[in-house]
Amino acid sequence: MSRIGKQPIQLSKGVKASFSNGSLSIEGAKGKLSLNIPQGVILELSSDKIIVKRESEEKQVRSSHGTVRAIIANMVKGVVDGYKKELDIVGTGYKAVMKGTNLVLAMGFSHPVEIPISKDLKVTVPNPNRIIVECADRQKLGQFAASLRKIYPPEPYKGKGIRYVGEEVKKKLGKALAK
């Protein structure tokens, strides 16, 4: 039995969960999220908790059991508290600016990079070298932050680029110092 999968998910006050046609929908203060439940995974809904069970011991069903439970727990936390990622821009002249619903990055390329922001993401730029992304959906947040970082990942010689706050970039010695 999956150790993670057998733990019940507690629903906070103000969180509504409904299950119909193989799709779970969770609604809270920060938004509404839905998930298609894979075949073989069973949900038991009550007013204050969700229990995830499986109907067989097949390998695919066993592997889905704990994963589905973890995703649902992340959804519940997301609609209550939300998720947040912060990115730093390191480099002389590199900066970020919000223009309407687009994020514009000046990263030393021949042109500025414009990224459209979807409605469920909240992007703020408190200063030109910091980007804060907030969302109720953990997967969407991580995907968007990773796509931002991919535009100019931190390089190992000077450390310039886009990185997560707290991320350490291992620097290499330059050609002159390496012997």
Per-residue tokens: 76? 């519940």
In a domain, 135, yes or no: yes
pTM of the model: 0.89
What residue numbers bound the domain in which 111 lies? 83-164
Helix (H, G, I), strand (E, B) or coil at 75: helix
Residues 23 and 61 grouped into a single domain: yes
Last residue of a domain, one of 46, 80, 114: 80
What are the pLDDT tens digits along the chain (179 aa)? Answer: 568 888 899 998 889 999 988 899 999 999 999 999 998 999 999 888 999 999 988 898 888 999 999 999 999 999 999 999 999 999 999 999 999 999 999 999 999 999 999 999 999 999 999 999 999 999 999 999 999 999 999 999 998 999 999 989 898 888 877 66
Residues 74 and 115 grouped into a single domain: no
In a domain, 147, yes or no: yes
In a domain, 1, yes or no: no
In a domain, 157, yes or no: yes
Residues 66 and 99 grouped into a single domain: no
